[in-house]
Structure 1
């Protein structure tokens, strides 16, 4: 976001307000009792809460895994490096996310407009969409992989056996 950070925050707040699903905006007064602004939060614990309907993510791999393990659909907003590849894979290849179109800010000095943010958030917040269904399926698959005999459990065991 660079030097235009405060302008982008305003666009984010406006975009979330436009979804009519999230009540942000004039900020603290208008979100009182429904949301909060904080510097840090326990991301997995927050995503496990039943009130969470979506997650706007930079698409780092840990955030993707945490979101999918919790069954929370993602709105992709990659910033750099592998995040762009991860976002493409999640949205275009796997259909597990809605993308904030990166081209939308090119004519505006990189500033992504509120309307684009609102479009992507509305897309994942639709209660009966394919992204939400696929995210829930991935939750079940990930739970199975972590159980004894599951693919992650077995792979970690093999890795440990190779190194000790």
Structure 2
């Protein structure tokens, strides 16, 4: 049984869904690709930790999530999403670099398609993937949100470098 809840965030309302405390979906309300929500039931407090971690992330207090995920997709999508989880906070990779990492050189467009089907935005950081020349392209939540997330992370990295240099 899939339960869901919404939460407010600096980039707009988010919808969390999953079974038990295991997250299967984290989506922006109006993003371009949304899973079917047929049969989803209101959650019973099981996502409190996920909400707490997301709040800490948006406050610049959390750089790595510790939430159990259940990513459902094709084998290729799974490989791409696992690769996304290795991109450090505050850094970016190109679609081509991810394609190389998953053993599919030349498959940058396929990586983009897998990104567009990422069921757990933000935590599986598809916003950290950019074009080969550094341009922001392709984000289901909109390029303005992608830029906001990247700027949040960059600001936190620069602030910590300033504090510790």
Q: Which TM-score band applies after superposition, normalised by the shorter structure? A: under 0.3
TM-score (norm 2): 0.26
Higher Cα Rg, which structure = 1
Q: Which has the higher strand share?
A: 2
TM-score (norm 1): 0.26
Q: Which has the higher helix share?
A: 1
